[in-house]
Structure formats: structure tokens, C-alpha cells
Amino acid sequence: MRALTWRGQHDVRVEDHPDPQIQEPTDAIIRVTSSAICGSDLHLYDFLGPFIDDGSILGHEPMGIVEEVGSEVSHIKRGDRVVIPFNISCGHCFMCRNGLFAQCETTQQTENGTGAALFGYTRLYGSVPGGQAEYLRVPQAHFGPIPVPEGPPDDRFLFLSDVLPTAWQAVAYAEIPQGGTVAVLGLGPIGQMSARIARHHGARVIAVDMVPERLEMARRHGIEVIDRNEVDDLGDAIRDMTQGRGPDSVIDAVGMEAEGSPGAHLAQRMTRFLPDAAAAPLMERAGIDRLAALKDAFDIVRRGGTVSIIGVYVGSQDPLPMMQLFDKGVQLRMGQAHVKRWIDDLMPLLTDDSDPLGTEDLTTHRLSLDEAPRGYEMFQKKQDGAIKVVLQA
Ligand SMILES: NC(=O)c1ccc[n+]([C@@H]2O[C@H](COP(=O)([O-])OP(=O)(O)OC[C@H]3O[C@@H](n4cnc5c(N)ncnc54)[C@H](O)[C@@H]3O)[C@@H](O)[C@H]2O)c1
Ligand SMILES: [Zn+2]
Ligand SMILES: [Zn+2]
């Protein structure tokens, strides 16, 4: 089969790989019909090289048609239309029973000290081949795959793999009081959907980005927006809009930016000359994060408010403004999305023909798998108005 293959920094190629086979009775094989590129893939594309093996297949936002199931998979069968959650969870361990699917103890990567295995996401998360491919082997398929109805186009359901449950969790963790206000930092796909979901729940939403078409997309979904480049002090600008207090909640949907910080770039240049085993710890210590958005979040949130961090941060030595956090009494929530936990909340909105979350207005580019390398470049450089790129069979 053909699959999008990681070959190095800014170097992904579509190459031939053996077709995946059922290996465990709990596996399934799906034929991928749509597979999205995520902001998290940009971290791999750009600077997580020391954590990923040359030749890895990327992608964790796939959907498709079931080709084959193992003997212990009974909720789906050949020919069913399914969406695959990005985290691989068993459904029956302690963590799964508590809805903490991103911490599944059956697939947890104990030797790395990380949570549940993820599709297409580095050695830290199990080196599981990803879904930007013609076919995908789905481990723990007795639990993971989400059956979806025939009819609407793939886009209606595709984002159940990551963007929608992630955004739903961001909003849930933001604990916005009834009639309250939330600021959403970052208007990539995660920020767009967090803003729409918060608004759907009745909150006032003020969203921040600096890319004109991303601001425009939010605006047309009824979100108030601030262009980060047009205000001197974001905190003051938002306080001015919120009775001087700041919003009840802030969602950080930026995370470590694909561009990284100047320090990260230095560490990254140095690691290029080291073998991976030496480079990985250096990258971790250097802290490849840019904390600008997170620091904004702490500044903006009102006293006693909640910050929900859904953007990914991975460094281990990031200085945080602990004094400010403590003094303001801020509540912090964060983590990988527990995808399956939010599906029952989302599904009625997706099967509603009025499409209240506007799922069909997120994808800006539909490309074939063969065009995936261009899709990565375009998404990373925000060229041609790219907001969400979907690879279609
Ligand atoms: N927690 C999870 O389970 C989970 C799941 C999916 C994605 N993510 C993470 O969410 C983040 C966003 O993903 P995405 O696909 O929307 O990515 P993206 O790169 O498209 O979006 C990031 C947006 O932030 C904007 N931005 C950059 N710096 C900013 C700043 N200082 N203030 C305001 N906006 C700023 C960018 O212009 C961009 O529009 C990434 O870190 C991704 O890894 C987390
Ligand atoms: Zn994703
Ligand atoms: Zn589990």
C-alpha cells in the first residue's frame, strides 16, 4: 500500500509499505477513505525528529471502511463505516473505566513514562503505524472504532477522530460558568471548534489569533475575535472587554508552536549532529516549547478562573509563573483528549442535518494521499489559506 512516511525534518514522502495484517484477535483493518493532517503532526514534521523513527507512517485522524476484523471484534464488521480515535484504548482497564482513555493502562507506554499509545506518533507513544495511508491496522478494535451512519460526507464525522472530542474536552475542562465568558487562544482547527462548542453551550467567546483567514472563519461562526498583532497588551485588551476582570475561563489551543522558540531552534540544530539516543534527552531538557500563549492565558484569566490547556507542551524544564498562578488562585486542566468519552455528547450534533457545529466548514483543502507532502508544507506555512487539510482516497 501507499503511505505517508516520515523521512526527516520537513521531509515526508508517500512510499510503498506492506499491507497491514491482523495480528491480534482484537485487531481490525480499515481501508482509509479520509485522513486529516493535524497541528500535532506539525510537531513531528518540524522538530520532534529525535523521537520518531525514520520510515514511520504518520497520521492519527482517519476514517474508512472496515475490511477485516479479528475474532474478538464484534461491534463492527466488514463494510461498516467507522472513525478511528487517535488514542488506542482497551475500554476495560481502570483508566478506561474512569473515562481516562488517553491513559489506558493496557496500551500505556510504561517504559517511556507516557500515556496510552497513539496512532502515528513517535516512539514515546508506541510507534504505531498511522492512518495517512491506504490501509490501517487498528489495535484494540473491539473498543476503539466509532461506527457512523452512511449518508453525509466524510467531513461530517472525520473530526470525531480528534478535533471535535479534543475541542469538547477543552470546553468541558474550561468549566465556563453559565452565561460566562471564555477566551480561546489560537484559531487552528482545535481553537475553531473549541470556540464553536463553547458558543453552542451559550458562552460568550473571545478568540485570538493573528492569521486573517482563521480570524475570518471564527467571525463567520459568530465568535468575537482579536487579532494578536493589533493589540499591544492582549491582557488589557481582553480585560477591557470583560469589565476589567478578565474572562472566567481561557482555553490555550496554541501549545508549543510548530515554529518553536529561538532556544528550541538552537537545540534542534545541535541535535541534528547527534544520534537520536543522545539528541532526545537534549531536546527534552531544552524545552522545545514556546510558552507565550500559556503565559498569556495566565495573565488573561480572571482571578479564581480556569485555564484549560489543550495545546500540546512537551518540554520538561519550562519555568512557569507559579507565583502568579498561586496568587490568582487559577485552576488548571490539561491533557490529551479522551476521545471516546465525548462521542455520545457529539454524535447527536453530527447526525443533526442542520450541522450546528459547522463541521463542513473547517476543511480548506482536500488532497489525494500522493499530494500529502504538499499538504504538510502548505499547512505548516499557512499557505493558500490552509486551515485544515484532509487527504482523501
Ligand atoms: N490535547 C490533545 O489531545 C490535542 C489534540 C489535537 C491537537 N492538540 C494540539 O492543539 C494545538 C492546536 O492544534 P491545531 O491543529 O489547531 O494547530 P494549528 O497549528 O493549526 O493552530 C495553532 C494556531 O495558533 C495560532 N497562534 C500561534 N501563536 C499564537 C499566540 N501567541 N496567540 C494566539 N494564537 C497563536 C496560530 O496562528 C494557529 O492558527 C497543537 O498544539 C496540537 O498539538 C492537542
Ligand atoms: Zn490530531
Ligand atoms: Zn484501557
What fold characterizes domain 164-255+290-334?
Answer: Rossmann fold (3.40.50)
List Cα–Cα distances, 382 to 8, 111, 117, 187, 349, in angstroms.
20, 36, 29, 12, 29
Q: Are 380 and 40 in contact (CB under 8 A)?
A: no
CATH class of 2-161+338-392: alpha beta
Q: What is the DSSP string of 77-105?
A: -TT-EEE--SB---SSSHHHHTT-GGG-T
The pLDDT of residue 262: 47
237-262 pLDDT, tens digit per residue, is 999 999 999 999 999 999 886 334 44
Residue, of 70 and 265, whose pLDDT is higher: 70
| Domain positions in the chain | 2-161+338-392, 164-255+290-334
Would the pLDDT of 269 be above 90?
no
Has this prediction a pTM greater than 0.75? yes
- In the structure, how many helices (H) and strands (E) does the chain have? 13, 15
Task: Say which residues have a Cβ less than 8 Å from residue 275's Cβ, sequence separation at least 6.
Answer: none
Give me the percent of the chain exceeding a pLDDT of 90. 83
**Rounded distance between C-alpha atoms, residue 311 and residue 297, angstroms:** 12
169-213 pLDDT, tens digit per residue, is 999 999 999 999 999 999 999 999 999 999 999 999 999 999 999
Task: Say which residues have a Cβ less than 8 Å from residue 233's Cβ, sequence separation at least 6.
Answer: none
For ligand 1, whether the C-beta of 195 sits within 6 Å is no
Residue 41 CA to ligand 2 centre (angstroms): 7
Would the pLDDT of 15 be above 70?
yes
The pLDDT of residue 260: 40
Residue type, 111: E
Residue 1 CA to ligand 3 centre (angstroms): 30
The residue nearest atom 2 of ligand 1, judged by CA position, is 336
Give me the percent of the chain exceeding a pLDDT of 70. 91
316-360 pLDDT, tens digit per residue, is 666 788 889 999 999 999 999 999 999 999 999 999 999 999 999
Classify 348 in phi/psi space as left (phi over 0), alpha (psi -120 to 50) or beta: alpha
Which residues hold their Cβ within 5 A of ligand 3, which is an ion?
89-90, 93, 96, 104, 106
277-306 pLDDT, tens digit per residue, is 666 665 555 444 568 899 999 999 999 999
Query: Do the domains spanning 2-161+338-392 and 164-255+290-334 agree at the CATH topology level?
Result: no
- How does DSSP classify residue 175? T
- Coil/strand/helix, residue 75: coil
